[in-house]
Chain A
Amino acid sequence: MHGMISYFIRRLLLIPITFVCITFMVYGIMRLSPGGPIEQARTQMLMAQMQEGGGGAFSQIGELALPQDAIDQLKIYYKLHRSIPVGYMIWLGVWPDDDRGGIFSGIIQGDFGISYRYSDSVLSTIVSKFPISVTFGLIGYLATWIVCIPLGVQKALLHRTWFDMTTSLAVFLGYSIPGFVACLALMLMFGTSLVWDLFPLGGFRSENWNDMWAAGNIWWCIKDQAWHMFIPLVGYVMSGFATMTILMKNSLLDNLGADYVRTAFAKGLSERRVIFLHALRNSMIPICVGIGGAIGLLFAGSFLIEKTCNIPGMGLLGFNSLIERDYPVLMGILVFGVLIRLTGNILSDLILAFIDPRVRFK
């Protein structure tokens, strides 16, 4: 037990190191890349000039459309006048920010900065996407469990039969198609009049959803939500089906061949009892390990699927901030993503250590 505790402490200590390495690398790449907030402001100004002044501003494209002191102000505002390591440490919150009176204010203090694009706090922008992520993540997670565990058990019991073969083919088909391509194909088939015009072409909710919710029309709201969520949800869960089902099947098959199952049979227990009480419980171990990853539900979202189905979730936020070079938001998403992944891994190990007494980490 002692070794285990020191193992987890070591793992926890590794989190900050990993975190700093990754965020510093990405911060450096972003700072070195052209097209930051100043270029954005310049383009916006240019657009405004072109709209009002016509061709006159056009001759100045090569020249600066922004006065020098405005650039300096922007630089200070976005901390671009700092060198990359200092800027990074200010962002992290371990270096005093002289422009704001020498206070420490970074992500350690919970200050993620201001979005270039929306002029809004990064933290609230990201947190506002949590409901969408949780809705998708939770339902997708449940759907995977509800489908895959019975299917895997059935496949193990009917190993090398017709049922096993056909479901394997189906599950692997799901594995081989990327989720966003499946969404696209489903949208084509069931979102247009090609086969059956059943589901909407993208979107998270109908436009009048909030009004209906306020009016107390809950049944309509749930129906509308499900109607919009079906296609993206299929894209989310489809590729996970194969790994989960095959994991369940192989793990149960392993256990069915084990000695303790033989003993249980020899004692004269019924087949049902042996399989579902003895073997199944042990074969759930590798599956339960994945629960640690459930913390990622908060952050579920793929920019491929969200872009395809036009869902304003975490993925689309990241994609848009990448296109618009909204670096504070990108860094914020990165921070959350990395932290959640790292803690998820440790959580998985912890769960494994709790449910399987044979496991020893050192």
Chain B
Amino acid sequence: MTHILFKLLQLLVVLLLGFVLTTYVLPWFFRCFLRILGYPAEFSPVTQKRIRRFRAIRRGYWSFKLITVLFVTSLFLELIVSSKALMIRYEDRTAYPALCEWLNMAWPFGEVSSFNKKSDFGQIGESEVDYRQFAIYAAHPALMRKDLEKERTALTAEKEAYLAEHPTPGPDARRFEVRRYERAMKRFGKRGETLLALEKNLAVFEGGRAGCWMPVYPVGPGDLRYDLKSNPPNRPSLEEGVPLGTDMSGRDVVPLMLYGFRISLAFALVVAGLGYGFGILVGGVQGYYGGWVDIVTQRVVEIWGSIPFLFTIMIIASIVQPSFWILAVLMVVLTSWLGITYYVRAEFYREKAKDYVQAAIGSGVSDWRIITRHILPNALVPVVTFAPFGIVAYIGSLVSLDYLGFGLPPGTPSWGALLRQGLENVKFYPHLTIIPTVALASTLYTVVMIGEAVREAFDPKVFSRLR
């Protein structure tokens, strides 16, 4: 019980850090970034009023805070939910494997090795250190001693039992008996050596010269839960330490859901960002130049928009296994830039007729500068009001593609893949359906709430009505 409370406390601290980062640190960076780009650090009075109105809509504002804090926190998931230790120390050797993993995620252009050999850290073998085991022994060396003693007695007992059954072969023994005996002795000898080495390392653990700091939830998204008694899928059970159960291949659902949240939201943000950037450009050029440029590009947009995009992505995905970025670019190219062009085009038509634009044209400002600096800040309202609904749609598309098996590569933590498993096991393992459904519905609902509030704040309709 205290164990769970302690975990919850850790989680609270993590979320608090995420909150501080999201509300204070990141806006500061964002403002710096804008200033470097040359946009004014202060919003215009109209925008300020809109933001005030948005904040006044409690439901939407708190949804916005919740989603941003959760997403920013989820950017650090490698440090929070992972089977690799944050810090591991053994005698004079120290390593930060989780941090390396996080760096690899955050900086995809270089690779830091997060691999630590077992033999370097008081365990036997050349594979990756078993951090959970290490953490337990580092915290409770007495447990290690007990385990080792148990193993020692088991080994002695087994050896005696073996010798009682198969006595040492004499000189006239058959050859296979000798071979069998030698093999068995070699086996026992190896176990004995391992035990001896571990007993030597015991001193390090007992002397407090080994330490390990594990993440809050010490299971990563790709790790199979071998420590459970029954075969996967496992139902949720707090006693066994799987609060949300495991999926069909034995992966823990908690990291799957959390990493899936990050991937879904990041995907939607990337698709929306790239698509809206391109769509604004096209729509701006259409609306600014008008005439033939407008007519031709408008036809292209119409034709392009008639392509059934989910179908086309599925055809392409059945040929090449798409990665995150390929899938995002496909979504951008096939759908996400289209819808926004209509609105930006209309806004540009409207703004271009206004005096300030004519004045800018008259004073010889370049077209590019007029489009990006003069008109664009005034034409962003439809973009802002559309973005949340776009994000809902793109998360939905990613989940659908994963659900059908045409999405991200197998093994990627994804809600859609989990839903597919849920469909296959709808009768016997309801948790595989319930958990992703609840996560998906609540995430999308929160984003829709943001969208509603943004629309109301940025594009208010005042309805007057007689009675």
Contact = CB atoms under 8 A, between A and B. Distances in A.
Interface of A: 14, 17-18, 21-22, 25-26, 29-30, 32-35, 159, 168, 172-173, 175-178, 180-181, 184-185, 187-188, 191-192, 194, 201, 250, 253-254, 256-257, 261-262, 265, 271, 303-304, 307-308, 318-319, 322-323, 325, 330, 334, 337-338, 341-342
Contacts of A265: 466
13 contacts: A18-B303, A21-B303, A22-B303, A25-B307, A33-B319, A177-B441, A181-B441, A185-B437, A250-B461, A262-B466, A303-B404, A308-B423, A342-B306
B303 A29 contact: no
A181 B303 contact: no
Contacts of A318: 311
Contacts of B104: none
Main secondary structure of the interface of A (DSSP, over half): helix
Given A18-B303, A265-B466, A308-B423, A33 B315 contact: yes
B426 A180 contact: no
B426 A173 contact: no
Main secondary structure of the interface of B (DSSP, over half): helix
B318 interface: yes
Nearest to B400: A304
A159 B445 CA distance: 22
A175 B314 CA distance: 24
Contact of B437 (A17, A181, A262): A181
A29 B404 contact: no
Contact of B419 (A30, A34, A184, A261): A184
A88 to B, nearest CB: 16
Nearest to A32: B319
Report the contact-size class of chain B (Cβ under 8 Å from the partner): 35 or more
B465 interface: yes
Interface in B427-467: 427, 430, 433-434, 437, 440-441, 444-445, 447-449, 452, 461, 463-467
Pairs of residues from A and B, 9 with the lowest C-beta to C-beta distance, nearest first: A176-B444, A33-B319, A253-B463, A176-B445, A176-B448, A18-B303, A178-B396, A257-B464, A256-B465
Nearest to A257: B464
Contacts of A261: 466
B399 interface: yes
A248 B465 CA distance: 16
Contact of A322 (B303, B306, B314, B464): B314
Contacts, number: 121
Name the residue among B316, B423, B430, B434 with the largest chain A CB count within 10 angstroms: B423
Given A192-B430, A201-B426, A322-B315, A177 B308 contact: no
B393 to A, nearest CB: 10
B231 to A, nearest CB: 21
A156 to B, nearest CB: 8
B422 interface: yes
A70 B302 CA distance: 43
A188 B399 CA distance: 19
Contacts of A33: 315, 318-319
A337 B444 contact: no
Contact of B427 (A21, A22, A176, A201): A201
Contacts of A201: 426-427
